[in-house]
Chains A and B, each alone.
Chain A
Amino acid sequence: SQQGEEDPQALSIQEGENATMNCSYKTSINNLQWYRQNSGRGLVHLILIRSNEREKHSGRLRVTLDTSKKSSSLLITASRAADTASYFCATHSGYSTLTFGKGTMLLVSP
């Protein structure tokens, strides 16, 4: 069953705008990861945030984690057309596997 659920399912913005995607999960986690998938390609890891961290930055990416609300958000600042992709959150709960959400499709128009 899906642990992480992304919101919204789809997001359409203009270049230069910020994009925010949210992920909610159900059980306690060790870490939460965000991945990007360009059309027809494999997933690429973006950022990992541990359960004892509240915020993490990587370039134009900002991830927050609120364990009390069991939610995370991914912010992409100053979006570019090349950011067009699907974005997935994945949770690690101490087992040997990650549990992926269904993803948010982001379209960035020039």
Chain B
Amino acid sequence: NAGVTQTPKFRVLKTGQSMTLLCAQDMNHEYMYWYRQDPGMGLRLIHYSVGEGTTAKGEVPDGYNVSRLKKQNFLLGLESAAPSQTSVYFCASMRTLGETQYFGPGTRLLVL
């Protein structure tokens, strides 16, 4: 099993450009999450999903959209990138409520 994978690993964007980050898991997990990690800020939850077709806002959702059309995939979109969105983005999945989360390797995004 590959676990949780993220695409791409690294990306440079110009302000105003759009992009989609893809997260895929092969563990048949119900719950999926998108976090961003900035120096000194720990992990902050952007959006999450409790099952196929569902999405919900986390702590810092502004400027991002998500979709979970298939159970194994969770997409994070930036419609108009801003320098403040420069960060490392992590996806995670969880089988059921209260269990451990499995993290992907991260996507480094630089917005110029």
Contact = CB atoms under 8 A, between A and B. Distances in A.
A98 B97 CA distance: 10
B103 A97 contact: no
Nearest to B88: A40
Contacts of B58: 97
Main secondary structure of the interface of A (DSSP, over half): loop
A41 B104 CA distance: 8
Given A30-B98, A97-B48, A41 B42 contact: no
Interface in B44-61: 45, 48, 50, 56, 58-59
B42 A102 contact: yes
Q: How large is the interface on B (under 10, 10 to 19, 20 to 34, 35 or more residues)?
A: 20 to 34
B98 A31 contact: yes
A100 B43 contact: yes
Contacts of B50: 96
Interface of A: 1-2, 30-31, 33, 40-45, 48, 88, 90, 92, 94, 96-98, 100-103
Contacts of B90: 42-43
Interface of B: 4, 31, 33, 35, 40-43, 45, 48, 50, 56, 58-59, 90, 92, 97-106
Given A96-B56, A102-B40, A41 B105 contact: yes
Given A30-B98, A31-B98, 12 more contacts: A1-B59, A42-B90, A42-B92, A42-B104, A42-B106, A43-B43, A43-B92, A88-B43, A96-B31, A97-B48, A100-B43, A102-B42
